Amino acid sequence: MTGEAPPDKPLRPPAALLLLQDLVFLLAVSLAHGTGAWTAWWCAVQVPFPLGFPVAVGLYPLVTLLVVIALDRTVPAVPVGRHAMGSPAFILWGIHLVLYRVVRIPPVIWLVRYSNVLRFIWLRGLGADAAFSAQMSGDVNLLDHRPLVLGAGCLLGSEVMVTTHMVIRGELRAEPVTVEEDAVVGARSVLGPGCRVGRHAVVEVGVLLGPGCKVGERARIGGASTLARDVEIGDGAFIEQRSHVEAGTRIGAGERWGGCPAQRVLSAEDARAKGSAGASPSREVQS
């Protein structure tokens, strides 16, 4: 016995909710993929033999995606914020998540991820505010799309994981993730709910941004660094590689920090004098 008080919220979803998710998933898969496959076959046999293959390959993911989007639009949106497990908002979020997973079944997801047009329809249709010129590697792991903002020219590298939700201690935390214009998120980095990466900022390879982290414009986060929850990085600041920034830390514009735990290495004035802060970001971190 630990002597701790029992939690006042359930820490696991009820079995009925899990069964409901399975039912919705099976019905949505049957409807979306069945309609996509049938439409692709029917259209393919209407054209001469050599043309049937590209027609089928193009229509199957497109029709499947459009059916999922239509189904998703019938479900009310989940308000941004925190919601108790088992609440109406939590149930709605679970349905959206199930519908999102329908598109992630191969081979549809393979075609969607590598096609600029299909990826754009996928993102916008399922709730993301994404620019057409937003780019990402084919193996980026978007755990959900809403609320997700991807600015023009931003870049998500290989195996980046982005999630706008977190379920912890019986509570759903749903907050937007924003990657602004021309920002770069390096390979194998993780963006938690509520994170924002500012314009022209660079997040190098293998960086973990905890929930609620804010990275200012033209800031740079060194590779293999960890930012705990609710860290704020000012414009043009620089975090050295393999640093750990503790929760709630506020780093001023143009400052340089490093270490574990991270501490200020140079003030903004000293950093400008040494030319070490505010460097122009490059895209070499994407792979």
Instruction: List per-block mean pLDDT (blocks of 10 residues) for the chain, which spans 287 residues.
Output: 48 78 94 97 91 93 96 92 88 90 93 94 94 95 89 97 88 93 97 97 97 97 96 96 97 94 83 58 49
pLDDT given at position 276: 46
Structure tokens at 88: 């109406």
Based on the domain organization, do 257 and 153 belong to the same domain? yes
Based on the domain organization, do 136 and 228 belong to the same domain? yes
148 in any annotated domain:
yes
Based on the domain organization, do 117 and 250 belong to the same domain? no
pLDDT given at position 284: 53
Structure tokens at 273: 């004098």
| Helix (H), strand (E) counts: the chain | 6, 24
Structure tokens at 135: 């780019």
- Whole-angstrom Cα distance, residue 219 to residue 153? 17
- Whole-angstrom Cα distance, residue 224 to residue 243? 7
Residue 125: count of CB within 10 angstroms of its CB:
17
User: What is the domain extent for residue 77?
Assistant: 14-127
Number of domains in the chain: 2
Based on the domain organization, do 95 and 231 belong to the same domain? no
Computed on alpha carbons and rounded to an integer, the radius of gyration of the chain in Å comes to 22
With a CB cutoff of 8 Å and minimum separation 6, the contacts of 81 are: 173, 174, 175
Domain end, chosen from 60, 93, 127, is at 127
Based on the domain organization, do 181 and 261 belong to the same domain? yes
Q: Which ranges of 126-266 does DSSP label H, i.e. alpha helix?
A: none
Domain end, chosen from 111, 127, 143, is at 127
The strand pairing partners of 203, in sequence order, are 185, 221
Alpha carbon of residue 85 to chain centroid: 22
**Closest to 189 in 3D by CA, of 254, 119, 140, 128:** 140
pLDDT given at position 275: 65
Based on the domain organization, do 195 and 271 belong to the same domain? yes
Structure tokens at 271: 């950093």
Based on the domain organization, do 133 and 266 belong to the same domain? yes
DSSP state of 76: P
Q: Residue 97 phi/psi, 5° resolution?
A: -65, -40
Task: Give residue 3's region: left, alpha or beta (phi > 0; psi -120 to 50).
Answer: left
Based on the domain organization, do 115 and 157 belong to the same domain? no
- Whole-angstrom Cα distance, residue 9 to residue 259? 38
Q: Is the peptide bond before 48 cis (omega within 30 degrees of 0)?
A: no
The strand pairing partners of 105, in sequence order, are none
With a CB cutoff of 8 Å and minimum separation 6, the contacts of 14 are: 86
8 in any annotated domain:
no
Q: Domain with 264 in it: what CATH number?
A: 2.160.10.10
Q: How far is CA 13 from CA 21, 87, 94, 99, in A?
A: 11, 10, 10, 18
Domain end, chosen from 75, 109, 127, is at 127
